Every structure is written in structure tokens, then in C-alpha cells.
Amino acid sequence: MKDATGAIRLQPTKSEFREHSGPIFMTSSFQYSSAEEAEAYFSGKIEGDIYSRFSNPNTTELIDKMCHLEQLPAGVATASGMAAIFATLSAHLKSGDLVVASGSLFGNTLYILQNILPSWGIDTILVDIKDNEGWVKAISKKPKIVIIETPSNPGLQLIDLEWLSKLSKQSGSIFAVDNCFATPIIQKPALWGADIVIHSATKFIDGQGRVLGGIVLGKEEFISPVFDFLRRTGASLSPFNAWILSKSLETLEVRMERHSKNAFSLARELESHSGITSVSYPFLESHPDLTLAKKQMKWGGGVLCCNLKGDKYHAFNFINSLSLLSITANLGDTRTIVTHPATTTHSKLSPEERAKSGITDTTLRFSVGLESIDDIINDITDALEKSNIE
């Protein structure tokens, strides 16, 4: 079954009401016909839903669809993308373990690695995403987990998934990939050897900036500890949010194609503007990883990054001159969004840490939406002219 068909057609068994569209199961618990049946469910003799903190038909539908899209056999749903990251790390790590991670991860993920895990006796080695020798050296120390995000946030840097997967397996490490930017429509890390694939479903999976959610996918041996952790700590996804996200998956492929088309057009337009010093987008001819992008990605995705001439004042002046684009820290919306990472999403990092991720005071991240590309380009070029960036 193709991606789009599975995302539309996979759903639980229909009820006696013969509904065409899957319903919302807004219930905290599930009823049994007898004490014996309740015992059988809780002992595992009968498989099924017991309590919505553990599972629910809506979360099951969402997980089944995401497993289909990522071509992985098992998964869990979480209350947010960061809950997915934290649960993955917490379930697999213990005191004395080592993590090797890309230095270009999302700011809050880096915060967990650098500020929370050390208090549990867990160390992290951060590696420049483009430093192959650094990866080899760090992974030779046999970390429990190797975790990356590609394309990176916000610099859109890439790493070879196949190469890093083989390197991780040689050291017996679990290889985890945050696939938020690409989505399974554009990139399937498991096909290149990833053990665990993580999503902030809040972003492109939802696609309209409505709900929070997270997904962790992998083989059963990697997902079972995460499920057990979530079952007891409670960062579970609500049935309503799961229903929204499952419905959103029905249009994910057509949306990602349009996001990518618009982002590519905007990237080429910005690259030709005299007020822009650099543009990073995986499918641009100027991107240093273009060959790799075309190897492991179907399209370039819906996010691009650029640097303006000037300083923070010029960046703020440009943002404040926009009339159509939204100013927010989210991404993956139908509406085009501009974000100033240095003062928002990555503001908790030190200037040195931001610099390693390619973030300066003039760096802007655009999550390119589904509006007419002409309107998007006109709003940006008008703002560049109004803010005297040329």
C-alpha cells in the first residue's frame, strides 16, 4: 500500500454505527463484561485498550498510520514532540551511560542533554554535524544512544544517515533520528538504518498549528521500554489530539509536495536578492549537501534558512515590516511563518553554541506555507525594501 493510501485508509474496525470517518473515543477507561474479562485484559491474556493513558483507539490509529509511513513495526504516541524525545532518552539510559548527539539539535533537546541528564550521571558528547572525524572519534567511545536531526534546525545541514547508522551499529549504539523537518513523506530514516525515529507531530503532521503531539517509532525491542516509561509517567497523547493528527495525515503527502514547491521557489528568489547574504535549502544547487539530499530525501521540505545583511536591528526591522507572514516559533503550518532563532527557539543556547549551529543575529527561519507563492514572495520582498535591506 502506498504512503497516501495508507494514511487515508488505515483505521480501526468500524462500530455498529457504520461510520465512514473514524470517530473520537473520548473516554478515560474501557468497560468489561465481567470481572473475569477485566482480569484477562490486565493480565495480557486478551489484548486491547484498558486505560487511555496506556492506549486508545485514536492513538492506535495514529500510530498504525505512522508505522506504515515510516516502515517500522511499532510505535507510541506522546503529549508533545519534546515528550517523545525525553521519553526515548529516559527509557533507554541509566547512570554511567553516554550519549553522542549532533550539536545542531533543537534547543530544548540540547537543554535535556546538557542540563538534565548530567544530574542523572549521563554524559553527552556533542559533535559538529559536518565533522566526520568527530563522529568517528565520539562513537568509538561506545555510546548507548546516537541522536541526530537531519535536516538540522534551523540551518538545514544534512548528515549521511546510511554512514552514521553503520558507524553506530559498529559500536552497538541505538541510532535515533528526529525526522520532524522532513516527515516520512520526504525521508524515511529506517530505510537507511535508523533504530528509532522521532517526530514532533505538532509540526507538519498536524499542519495547521492546532494541537501538540509526539511519536516514537521503531522495532518492538526499542519501543517497548518507551511504552513502559510513558505508561507509568503519563505523558500520553489525548484521544482528541490523536484524532486530529490522524485526520491530518490524510493530506500529508499533498501538503508536503506544496510546502516543498513553495519553499524551493522562495529559496531561489531569496538567493538572488542583494540583501540576503546566504540561503540554506537542501535542494538548492548551492547547498553543499545537494547530492546527499537527493539520495535520502524525496523533496527539499518546507523550511529554509537565510541570513540578512546588517545586524539584529535589521533582522527585527525586516520581521516587523512583514504584513502577511506570521511571527511565531512554530513551523509546519499552512501559513508561512518567520522565526528569529537567536532570540526565540535557540535563545537558551550560549552565543558560542548558536554559532556552532550556524545561528547569528541575522539568521531567519522560514516555514513556508501553502499560500500562493507570489503572495509569499511579494510580502518578503516588500519587507526587505521597507527595512532598507538591499
pLDDT at 352: 85
- Hey, CA dihedral for 114, 116, 119, 124, is it positive or negative? negative
Model confidence, pTM: 0.96
Give the mean pLDDT per block of 10 residues along the chain (390 residues): 92 81 94 96 94 95 98 98 98 98 92 96 96 98 98 95 98 98 98 98 98 98 98 96 98 98 98 96 98 98 97 96 96 98 88 85 97 98 88
- Cα–Cα distances (Å) from 199 to 63, 140, 183, 388, in that order, read 11, 27, 8, 39
Q: Please, how many CA atoms are within 13 Å of residue 100, restricted to the half-sphere of its CB?
A: 25
Q: Which helix (H) or strand (E) holds 384?
A: helix 373-386
- Cα–Cα distances (Å) from 79 to 30, 86, 87, 202, in that order, read 20, 11, 11, 10
176 shares a domain with 48: yes
User: Domain ends where: 249, 276, 297?
Assistant: 249
Q: 367 in helix, strand or coil?
A: strand
79 shares a domain with 180: yes
357 shares a domain with 261: yes
Q: 35 in helix, strand or coil?
A: helix
pLDDT at 46: 95
Residues in the chain: 390
Please report, in angstroms and rounded to a whole number, the separation of the first and last CA atoms in the chain: 50
256 shares a domain with 168: no
173 shares a domain with 75: yes
Q: What CATH number is associated with residue 62?
A: 3.40.640.10
User: Domain ends where: 233, 249, 265?
Assistant: 249
Do 93 and 145 contact (CB within 8 A), yes or no? yes
Give CA–CA dist 83/65, Å, rounded. 20
Q: What CATH number is associated with residue 344?
A: 3.90.1150.10
Q: Residue 99: give the domain boundaries.
A: 3-249
pLDDT at 216: 98
